[in-house]
Structure 1
Amino acid sequence: MRRFAIGATAVSMALAMAACGKAGDDKDSGSDASSAGTGSGGGSKSIGLLLPDTVTARYEKFDKPYFEDKVKALCADCKVEYANAAASATMQAQQVSNMITKGVKVIVVSAQDSAAIKSSIQAAVDKGVKVVAYDRLAQGPVSGYVSFDNVKVGELQGQALLTSLGAKATKASKIVMINGDDADPNAAQFKEGAHKALDGKVTIAYEQSGLWKDTVAAQKMSAAITQIGAKNIAGVYSANDGMSGGIANTLKGAGISGIPLTGQDAELAGIQRIVAGTQSSTVYKAFKPEAEAAATMAVDLLNGKDISSLATTTLTSGSGNKVPSQLLTPVSVTKANIKDTVVKDGLYTAAQICTGEFAAPCKAAGLQ
């Protein structure tokens, strides 16, 4: 009886220790875990999704649910482990480590810092984990990349600015450029495309990074006004809608109106500014096909399938890695085609766009 009691006690202690270990494994600093399918934890059916920040509205509102839904549709017993870096490269590195510990077999990551994450990706690959770069081309040995043609995005932005300038698109016209964060490789591609469209046609009188932050972009716009003069600015290139919001407020405060202001991401606030006339254009990168393409690639890699039919081109990352890539086509959005793009696709309803102060301009634009 004594031997039986000792054995039972040992089993109970072992079970308790295992339970503690399981609880510790489930902790994920700065992140939330959510599942798609019936999986009950990490392991061979787990796919990780790591997004870079919560400031950009699209990631939590669109990319995450679209990705999870597609994984569930393709693999009913797969689990999605999710985390958001909250704009911290250090936190994202820890999240990659956590995913490896949980036994995730494929990680889809939109890098907060494409260079800083290289060692984390290498560590994941060394453990047999496949990595898919999402929206931003991360450095290191990634297995595939899903995004849009980002140089084309910049070209669309630059061309939209020129179109809005009309006859004022001359070499004498002074343009302010507020680019994205240099840590994001996409920012360099947007910038490249914009310069391709603008150089030789207008004068870039002021160019700085807004770090993808509306507050920083507003400060840079204020500095540009001081340097160039409010009356001498013909238009503003902003790399995304988030920064455009801060820039639009600065322009209004300086008494500047009626000049072109670009954007990107087709955020609701950006679409509303276009309706109201305080922003001239944005670039719509349909989130659903991008998220679904990444989910499809992740599930294929999980199942050991070849992805060459999905990744039909190859890009070279900042680390020199040749990456099989799937690039989708972006669309320029102005007041004239809001109904035929973001509304038609169900991204927003006319009712969502045309609230309060935007009701009257919506009616004039034919949205209501």
Structure 2
Amino acid sequence: MNAMMRRAVIGTAAVSMALTMAACGKAGGDKTTAASSSASTGGKSIGLLLPENATTRYEQLDKPLIEAKVKAACADCTVDYANAAGSAATQAQQVSTMITKGVNVLIVDAVDSAAIKSSIQAAVDKGIKVIAYDRLAQGPVSAYVSYDNEKVGELQGQALLDALGAKATPTANVVMINGDDADPNAAMFKAGAHKILDGKVKIAYEQSGLWKDTIANQKVTAAITQLGAPNIAAVYSANDGMAGGIATALKGAGISSIPVTGQDAELTGLQRILAGTQTSTVYKAPKPEAEAVASLAVDLLNNKAVSDTATASSTSGSGDKVPSVLLTPVSVTKANMATTVIADALYPTAKICTADFAAACAAAGIK
């Protein structure tokens, strides 16, 4: 995930369920939620554009959490939703559709933070207030809600060093698989990780995995060929989705018991941590992030200032200074899983501790 994310008091995170295109209607299609109606009816309307459905959190957590908070804060508000399915061109079309519908406020989690700039300008020119969600889009946005993304990378880097222990030396080869360069969060994750890792280990191979498990698998397979299986000390993965593909590549090469990082606290990521094929993840609770952006959207719709809530400031790639809510991420390992995501009831324990993971759950104090 662009990931740079969000950060909070521990709350709720990403459910790892397989998403289907049916979950969002046609890929990239606009869809008004069941509880809402078209903005053209003249009611209070909020547009919600999420970037993709490969990462399970967006449709399983962010969308319903935002909708629920909007409904609680504004009974007569509607939410018009669309998912870009990873396409910047599709998302640009969706912004145009939201403008035509006449939404009052638009929440955008950009597929490509630079490419979306002209679309955001077009929306603002029509009097629509835009909030950048999770990823800081370029252009005249009114507010930004996310996690401290550089801190995410720092947590990942430190978790990798902690897992290496005495093996963390300047000659220890680390393979680094970053997120999609079009996602500004990916750059911040990368910067934070380098801040911690550089000089302490050797980044021997570094590539983008584009937030795709298949691409990450291919990149790590190439790294194994280039470096040699016995010469890889650890793998930095920017998120859990890619860590799944990485774990498969490592297993296929006969590599076991080396540190592998992640992010998003996805269900399968947590299970890999319990099984020992992934070392850590970063928990960015979706609930506080989703509720913060929903509250800001309602405030903007009602012409209230965002300064009371958005007390931080961020500078976008276009140089715009944006009032921001930046939440605090949490590193999760087997040692603290019970007191973090499990204590938050992120997933039902039974869903994590299936028969294959029951023994590992018991050993980790998860009941």
TM-score normalised over the length of structure 1: 0.91
C-alpha separation between the residues in 1 aligned to 2:71 and 2:101? 19
Equivalent in the alignment of 2:358 = 359
Corresponding residue for residue 199 of structure 2: 200
Match of 1:81 in 2: 80
Give the structure 1 partner of residue 158 of structure 2. 159
Alpha-carbon deviations, 1:247-272, whole Å to 9, x = none?
00000000000000000000000000
> How far apart are 1:356 and its partner, in Å?
2.8
- Note closer, same or farther for the CA distance 1:59–1:29 as it changes in structure 2 (3 Å cut): closer
TM-aligned CA distance change 1:114 to 1:168, over 3 Å: same
Contact 2:28 2:83 in 1 (8 A): no
Cα distance between partner residues in 2 of 1:342 and 1:59: 18
* Paired-residue identity, %: 72
Equivalent position amino acid for 2:365 in 1: G
The separation in 2 between residues aligned to 1:320 and 1:41, in whole angstroms, is 32
Any conservation in 2 of the 1:132–1:142 contact (CA below 8 Å)?
yes
Return the alpha-carbon distance in structure 1 between the equivalents of residues 122 and 363 of structure 2: 55
1:304 equivalent in structure 2: 303
Partner of 2:272: 273
SS of 2:177's partner is strand
Q: Which has the higher contact order (CA 8 A, sep 6+)?
A: 2
Residue 316 of structure 1 is matched in structure 2 by: 315
Q: Verify the 8 A CA contact 1:28 1:98 in the aligned structure 2.
A: no
After the TM superposition, which residues 320-339 of structure 1 pair with which residues of structure 2 at under 5 Å, given as runs?
Answer: 320-339=319-338
**Secondary structure of 2:79's match?**
strand
Q: Which residue of 2 aligns with 1:148?
A: 147
1:65 is matched with 64
Q: How far off is 1:342 after superposition?
A: 1.0
1:177 aligns with 2:143: no
Is the contact between residue 119 and residue 140 of structure 1 (CA under 8 Å) also seen in structure 2? yes
What's the CA shift for 1:32?
Answer: 2.4
Which structure 2 residues correspond to residues 92-241 of structure 1 after superposition, within 5 A? 92-241=91-240
Give, in whole Å, the separation in 2 of the partners of 1:113 and 1:242.
19
> Could you tell me how far apart the structure 2 residues matched to 1:344 and 1:309 are?
30
Paired AA for residue 299 in structure 1: V
Q: What code does the residue aligned with 2:133 have?
A: Y
Equivalent position SS for 2:130: strand
Aligned length: 341
8 Å Cα contact 2:50-2:110 kept in structure 1:
yes
**Counterpart residue type for residue 352 of structure 2:** I
Q: Is the 8 A contact 2:28 2:85 kept in 1?
A: no
Structure 1 CA distance for aligned equivalents of residues 106 and 34 of structure 2: 14
Matched residue, 1:248: 247
SS state at 1:113 partner: coil
C-alpha deviation, 1:364, in angstroms: 1.7
* In structure 2, distance between residues paired with 1:36 and 1:118: 30
Residues 34-49 of structure 1 aligned to structure 2 (within 5 Å): 34-36=33-35, 41-42=39-40, 43-49=42-48
Moved over 6 A (4+): none
Aligned to 1:287: 286
In structure 2, the CA distance between the partners of 1:85 and 1:367, relative to structure 1 (3 Å rule), is same
State the distance in 2 between where 1:40 and 1:346 align. Answer: 35
CA displacement at 1:41 relative to structure 2 = 3.9
Residues 29 and 190 of structure 1: is their aligned pair in 2 closer, same or farther, counting only changes over 3 Å? closer
Aligned Cα root-mean-square deviation (Å): 1.3
Cα separation, 2, equivalents of 1:273 and 1:294: 31
- Aligned partners of 2:177 and 2:58: how far apart in 1? 22
- Structure 2 unpaired stretches of 5+: 1-25
Q: Secondary structure at the match of 1:340?
A: coil
Q: Whole-Å Cα distance in 2 between the matches of residues 98 and 129 of structure 1?
A: 13
- Report the counterpart of residue 21 of structure 1 in structure 2: none
SS in 2 for 1:298: helix
Q: Distance in 2 between matches of 1:176 and 1:309?
A: 42
Distance 2:266 2:28 in 1: 28
CA contact under 8 A between 1:35 and 1:80: conserved in structure 2?
no
In 1, distance between residues paired with 2:28 and 2:193? Answer: 38
Give the SS at the match of 1:305: coil
Shift of 1:44: 4.7
CA distance in 1, matches of 2:348, 2:201: 36
1:136 counterpart letter in structure 2: R
Instruction: Tell me how far 1:29 sits from its aligned partner.
Output: 6.0
CA distance in structure 2 between the partners assigned to 1:125 and 1:189 by the alignment? 27
Secondary structure, counterpart of 1:176 in structure 2: strand
Shift of 1:193: 0.2
Q: Return the alpha-carbon distance in structure 1 between the equivalents of residues 223 and 234 of structure 2.
A: 12
Could you say what secondary structure the match of 2:207 adopts?
strand
1:31 aligns with 2:50: no
- 1:116 shift after superposition: 0.8
The one-letter code of the counterpart of 1:311 is A
Matched AA of 1:211: L
Tell me, in whole angstroms, the C-alpha distance in 2 between the residues paired with 1:187 and 1:44.
Answer: 37
Aligned mates of 2:38, 2:118 — CA distance in 1: 29
